[in-house]
Amino acid sequence: MNLLNNLNTGTIPTWCPGCGNFLVLAAIKKAISELKLEPKEVVVTYDIGCAANMFNNLNVCGFATLHGRSIPVAVGVKMANPKLTVIAQGGEGGIVTEGGNHLIHAAQRNDDITVIINNNYVFALTTGQASAATPKGVKTRSTPEGNPFEPLLAIDLAATAGATFLARTLAYDLDKTTEVLKQAIKHRGFSLVEIIQPCIIWVKEYEDWKRDIKYLKKPFKSIKELIGKKNYLGILYKLD
């Protein structure tokens, strides 16, 4: 039985050509299939936004939530049936901007869910307004002179709240993203994977994200060490 094929729905994605979401979807499918999880064993709660259209393309138990609310719904699912593998998915607009409180408290409680943040740096579906995670200086539809604020870093928020698994990867690195997702899903407790995928339509001029990016050979030993290390990729912190 081909578990990977079982995850296909036959629905054609509606993302823009070249969007990182195509590779994120592929990585999630590969991670689930390589972990030998049946579709009925997995629940994904989706936020609102471009990445949330994945609801139509991933054949698992899915729940389309309100903006910023994929995490509390995921927590409820896990409480109702702890045997399920539960993933909360959303963009940085939903999880960091609209629902940042849920991110913090789920990390604080060490809820046994995996959170995937598709960080494209803007509210892409509503034509490119700045989010709380938009890098400083980036020009958007709502900040035409450049975003004046330092971005909120999801990894730092979750770290200071007490998260026990933190990782960051690039959508365009399929193999490493798949492996990181597998480790996050297997982790017992709260796990967060931030996937960097700058919007190819609304963030075309932003190149700073490419500078000095490198994968860690091994995770930081403590939460304090990773705070502010926004250019590091891979598993940043793991408490066994």
Q: What is the pLDDT of residues 160-214, one digit of tens each?
A: 999 999 999 999 999 999 999 999 999 999 999 999 999 999 987 666 667 778 8
Chain position carrying tokens 């990782």: 167
CATH classification number, 38-238, choose in 3.40.50.970, 3.40.50.620, 3.90.660.10, 1.10.1740.10? 3.40.50.970
Chain position carrying tokens 């729905």: 9
Domain ranges of the chain: 38-238
Chain position carrying tokens 């045997």: 83
pTM, 2 dp: 0.95
Q: What is the dihedral of CA 172, 177, 179, 182, to 10 degrees?
A: -140
Confidence at residue 213, expressed as pLDDT on a 0 to 100 scale? 82
Which residues in the chain land under pLDDT 70? Answer: 1, 205-209
Confidence at residue 27, expressed as pLDDT on a 0 to 100 scale? 97
- DSSP code at position 209: G
Residue 196 neighbours by CB under 8 Å, 6+ apart = 119, 168, 169, 170, 171, 209, 233
Pairing of strands 122-123, 129-130: antiparallel
Confidence at residue 214, expressed as pLDDT on a 0 to 100 scale? 87
Q: How many of the other CB atoms lie within 10 Å of CB of 216?
A: 16
Chain position carrying tokens 């480790």: 183
The values of phi and psi at residue 204, to 5°, are -65, -30
